[in-house]
Structure 1
Amino acid sequence: MKTLLIGGLTMLCAFTVSAQGWLSQGARSGAMANNGVTLVDAFSYHHNPGALGFIEEGSAGISYESRYALKELQTQSFAVAVPLKVGVISTGGQFYGYDTYRTTRAGLGYSMKLSEKISAGVQINYLGTRLDPAYGVKHGVSAEFGALAKLNDRVNVGFSVVNISRTRLADYKDDRYGTLIRLGLSYQLIEELLIVAEIEQEINFDTRLRAGIEYHPIDLLYIRAGVQGAPMDFAFGFGLKYERLKLDISSQYNQILGWTPAASFIFDFYKPKK
């Protein structure tokens, strides 16, 4: 029974991941139901390359997620962002699945401020999909774009497009990695409370709406929660920050499929001279 369940979930996730070629990364975003397009940290590489233009310190992160607590549906990822004299250079990758079904997305990006309040970024990513023994391995290259605008001290608006290049997955029925469009808003209600909301649209899939909150009661601790629809998932988690180190833990809950735990770690390793 467990083998059949794993096989069914693998095929379900295979269609989803193959369509998108993208997965949300980092437990901070995961704890807020995958809201991430307006957040500024190392994992912005995976959510919105434009946000990395506001990174002021070199930052590196690693993340692990076990979807529905199954090792066959696990994801590992990393992201690194390094400020230069002009702009920010970045790299990142995500690796999903197991021996029979595995996807890889990894590449390089460049971001920069266009003004004091607006930043934009681009990426080039390698896409690999392995589905043995039926289809073997498929390779592709995608282009990504993102932007972040700080409307004022409290409100940020983020926008990103994943696979703007419409990379082909297979010739059969012109199967392609989907183009994913995300538009998000964040509002710093008070110094200790951040509210985020986002709309996500992928071709041939239902529109997803999500919202989340981040509460920062003391310097060390962050408490987070969120919800998203189509399908409905609930999320919660917490984060710890000590000097240059950040540890985040999250879990998402689907009423049918169960829990998805995740953890991530970020290290801000240097601050460039002005």
Structure 2
Amino acid sequence: MKSLLITVLTFVSICSLNAQGWLSQGARVGAMANNGVTLIDAFSYHHNPGALGFIENASVGVSYESRYALKELQTQSVAAAVPLKTGVISAGGQFYGYDTYRTTRAGLGYSMKLSDRIAAGVQINYLSTRLDPAYGVKHGISAEFGALAKLNDRLNIGFSVVNIGRTEISEYKNDRYGTILRLGLSYQISEMLLLVGEIEQEINFDTRLRAGIEYHPIDLLYIRAGVQGAPMDFAFGFGLAFERIKLDLATQYNQYLGWTPAASFVFDFNKKK
């Protein structure tokens, strides 16, 4: 029974990932139902390279997710950003699946401030998809772009596009990694409360709407929740923030497929006191 379930879920994941070639990364974003296009941290590498233009200290993050609590549907990822004299250089990767089906996305990016309130970034990623040794491995290169604008001290608007050139997976039926457009807003109501919202459009798929909240009652603790539609998923989690270290835990719930736990760790170098 378990093997049948894994087979079915793997098939669903293949359909989804071949369409997208991208997965949300980091438990902070996961706890807010994948609202990440306006957030600024190391995992912005996976959500909006433009946001990395506002990074002030070198930062590295690692994350792990087990989709529907199955090790065969696990994702590991890494992201790093290093400010230069002009701009920010970044690198990252995500690795999904198991021996029979595995996808890889890894690359480099560069971001910079265009003004005190606007930043933009570009990214080049290597993509690979392996479906059982008998079918071999497909390779590709994708380009991404993102921008973030701080409209004022409380309101941010972010935009990103994944796979600008619609990289081809196979000539059969013109199979391609999907192009994803994301537009989001975040509003810092107070020092304790952040609201985020986002719209995602993947070509040939339904539009997804998301909303999330982050509550920061004390310096150490963050409490988060979110919801997204098409299909409907609920999310919640919390984070612990120390001087240079952030530890985040999250889970998402689908009423048909169950729970998706995730954890991530971010370390900031030379963090200002």
What TM-score do the two structures reach when normalised by structure 1? Answer: 0.98
Q: Which ranges in structure 1 are unaligned for 5 or more consecutive residues?
A: none
The separation in 1 between residues aligned to 2:203 and 2:28, in whole angstroms, is: 26
Counterpart residue number, 1:221: 221
Counterpart residue number, 2:23: 23
Give the 5 Å matches for 1:187-226: 187-226=187-226
1:271 Cα offset (Å) = 5.4
Give the 5 Å matches for 1:93-242: 93-242=93-242
The separation in 2 between residues aligned to 1:271 and 1:220, in whole angstroms, is: 16
The separation in 2 between residues aligned to 1:137 and 1:146, in whole angstroms, is: 29
Contact 1:163 1:180 survives alignment (8 Å): yes
Counterpart residue number, 1:270: 270
The separation in 1 between residues aligned to 2:106 and 2:31, in whole angstroms, is: 23
Contact 1:90 1:108 survives alignment (8 Å): yes
1:135 Cα offset (Å) = 2.5
1:133 Cα offset (Å) = 4.1
The separation in 1 between residues aligned to 2:171 and 2:65, in whole angstroms, is: 32
Q: Which amino acid aligns with 2:196?
A: V
| Structure 2 residue 79 is matched with structure 1 residue 48 | no
What TM-score do the two structures reach when normalised by structure 2? Answer: 0.98
Counterpart residue number, 2:77: 77
The separation in 2 between residues aligned to 1:134 and 1:14, in whole angstroms, is: 16
Counterpart residue number, 1:244: 244
1:134 Cα offset (Å) = 4.9
The separation in 1 between residues aligned to 2:134 and 2:256, in whole angstroms, is: 29
Contact 2:52 2:111 survives alignment (8 Å): yes
Counterpart residue number, 1:89: 89
Contact 2:194 2:215 survives alignment (8 Å): yes
The separation in 1 between residues aligned to 2:103 and 2:270, in whole angstroms, is: 32
- Calculate the aligned-residue CA RMSD, in Å: 0.9
The separation in 1 between residues aligned to 2:43 and 2:60, in whole angstroms, is: 8
State the Cα deviation string for residues 36-76 of structure 1 (Å, max 9, x = none).
00000000000000000000000000000000000000000
- State the SS of the aligned residue for 1:190: coil
State the Cα deviation string for residues 187-210 of structure 1 (Å, max 9, x = none).
011111000000000011110000
Contact 2:227 2:234 survives alignment (8 Å): yes
The separation in 1 between residues aligned to 2:11 and 2:87, in whole angstroms, is: 40
Paired positions, count: 272
The separation in 1 between residues aligned to 2:268 and 2:190, in whole angstroms, is: 25
Q: Which amino acid aligns with 2:129?
A: T
Moved over 2 A (4+): none
Q: Which amino acid aligns with 2:144?
A: E
The separation in 2 between residues aligned to 1:169 and 1:134, in whole angstroms, is: 16
Contact 1:59 1:270 survives alignment (8 Å): no
Q: Which amino acid aligns with 2:52?
A: L
Q: Which amino acid aligns with 1:101?
A: Y
Contact 1:240 1:247 survives alignment (8 Å): yes
Q: Which ranges in structure 2 are unaligned for 5 or more consecutive residues?
A: none
Aligned sequence identity (%): 81
The separation in 1 between residues aligned to 2:72 and 2:268, in whole angstroms, is: 31
- State the SS of the aligned residue for 1:51: helix
The separation in 2 between residues aligned to 1:66 and 1:85, in whole angstroms, is: 38
